[in-house]
């Protein structure tokens, strides 16, 4: 088995209940404890399940090239009720009878595209130097910031009118809150809504089907850094160039953004174009 402390990306299928920090801490213990650095490329709320992309060792420095990827989710939205937190942790309040299916289909169809989204009151975003959820728990009325997001696709997979449960598949830009999409859908329909269940199925091209349960890491769930960054253009290095890059020296090349520098399929570094050369920014070896 490969050294679990070596630079690697780990695809983990988070269960409902623990925080993302809990999952990171557990994986760190299994990889060797505090001697091994473990980070993430985007968290999930405690009630949510699905794909967490974790990074270990020097691969933690690759996080900036993963956090901005689009993400796909399966969401169960309960219509006819609201939740202060936007999820089942509540408190939940009944508002109105669930709307008819034809109204739900119409409302969902109009939610795709670029838009301004208000950050949920119960979120980790900081306002005035303090996280919003802490101020919300104290009952403070705080104007939550807005951000530009894109809902690339949103599809109604099914709707149980008797229970008011809408099953959605959404693909969104980074920084989008699916909890807020659920609340916005309820507001459009005039009946209230919240996200009852949420599962992240994809981060970029990385799929939850390739992920392992937290207690199976390692050895399961390991992904080579080069595969994790397959969305970047790649530049194959000669042995001499690989030695130069390992010492932080640039190599000839060009590009419009980050470039993966590889040798035989293994990631050596990520470089940025600077004139007619590629300058290493993150070196793994």
Long-range contacts for 208-212 (Cβ within 8 Å, ≥24 apart)? 208/11, 208/13, 208/50, 208/51, 210/11, 211/11, 211/12, 211/13, 211/50, 211/51, 211/52, 212/10, 212/11, 212/12, 212/13
Note the pLDDT tens digit of each residue in 68-89: 999 999 999 999 999 988 999 8
Residue in the block written with tokens 């937290």? 214
H or E segment to which residue 239 belongs: helix 239-246
Give the dihedral of Cα atoms 95, 96, 100, 105; nearest 10 deg.
-20
Domain boundaries, the chain: 8-68+206-224, 71-203, 234-283
Task: Tell me whether residue 45 is one of the annotated catalytic residues.
Answer: yes
The lowest-confidence range among 34-43, 137-146, 169-178 is 137-146
In the chain, helix, strand, coil percent, each to 5? 25, 40, 40
Give yes or no for residue 2 having a pLDDT over 70: no
How far apart, in whole angstroms, are the C-alpha atoms of residue 46 and residue 197? Answer: 11
Residue in the block written with tokens 């990827």? 69
Q: 225 CB contacts (<8 Å, ≥6 apart)? A: 7, 8, 9, 59, 62, 267, 284
Give the Å distances, CA to CA, from 52 to 4, 20, 26, 182, 238: 18, 8, 13, 22, 34
Note the pLDDT tens digit of each residue in 9-46: 999 999 999 999 999 999 999 998 888 999 999 999 99
The token pair that represents 89 in the structure block:
């942790």
Which residue in 3, 13, 22, 45 is the catalytic one? 45
Highest mean pLDDT among 115-124, 134-143, 248-257 belongs to: 248-257
CATH-assigned architecture of domain 71-203: 2-Layer Sandwich (3.30)
Note the pLDDT tens digit of each residue in 265-281: 899 999 999 999 999 99
CATH of domain 234-283: 2.30.130.10
Q: 11 CB contacts (<8 Å, ≥6 apart)? A: 51, 52, 53, 54, 206, 208, 210, 211, 212, 221, 223
* 8 A C-beta contact, residue 191 and residue 98: yes
Query: Residue 227's CB: how many other CB atoms inside 10 A?
Result: 13
Q: Please tell me if the domain spanning 8-68+206-224 has the same topology as the one spanning 234-283.
A: no
CATH of domain 8-68+206-224: 3.30.2350.10
- The overall pTM is greater than 0.75: yes
* 8 A C-beta contact, residue 124 and residue 131: yes
Provide the pLDDT for residue 134. Answer: 73
Provide the pLDDT for residue 96. Answer: 96
Main-chain dihedrals φ then ψ at residue 95, nearest 5 degrees: -120, -50
Provide the pLDDT for residue 5. Answer: 59
């Amino acid at each position: 088995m490969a050294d679990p402390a070596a630079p690697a990306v780990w695809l983990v299928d988070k269960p409902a209940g623990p925080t993302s920090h809990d999952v990171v801490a557990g994986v760190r213990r299994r990889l060797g404890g505090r001697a091994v650095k473990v980070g993430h490329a985007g968290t999930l709320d405690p009630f949510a399940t699905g794909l967490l992309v974790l990074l270990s060792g020097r691969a933690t420095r690759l996080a900036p090239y993963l956090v901005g990827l689009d993400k796909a989710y399966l969401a169960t939205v309960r219509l006819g009720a609201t939740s202060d937190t936007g999820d089942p942790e509540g408190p939940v309040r009944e508002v109105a009878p669930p709307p008819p299916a034809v109204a739900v289909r119409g409302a969902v169809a109009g939610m795709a595209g670029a838009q301004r989204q208000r950050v949920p009151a119960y979120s980790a975003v900081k306002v005035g130097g303090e996280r919003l959820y802490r101020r919300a728990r104290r009952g403070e009325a705080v104007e939550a910031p807005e951000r530009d997001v894109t809902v690339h696709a949103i599809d109604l997979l099914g709707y149980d009118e008797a229970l008011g449960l809408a099953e959605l598949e959404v693909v969104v830009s980074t920084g989008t809150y699916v909890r807020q999409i659920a609340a916005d859908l309820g507001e459009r329909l005039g009946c209230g809504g919240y996200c009852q269940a949420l599962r992240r199925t994809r981060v970029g091209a990385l799929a939850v089907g390739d992920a392992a349960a937290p207690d199976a890491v390692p050895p399961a769930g390991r992904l080579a850094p080069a595969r994790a960054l397959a969305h970047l253009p790649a530049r194959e290095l000669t042995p001499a160039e690989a030695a130069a890059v390992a010492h932080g020296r640039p190599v000839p090349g060009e590009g419009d953004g980050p470039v993966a520098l590889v040798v035989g399929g293994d990631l050596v570094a990520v470089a940025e174009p600077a004139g007619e050369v590629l300058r290493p920014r993150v070196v793994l070896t």
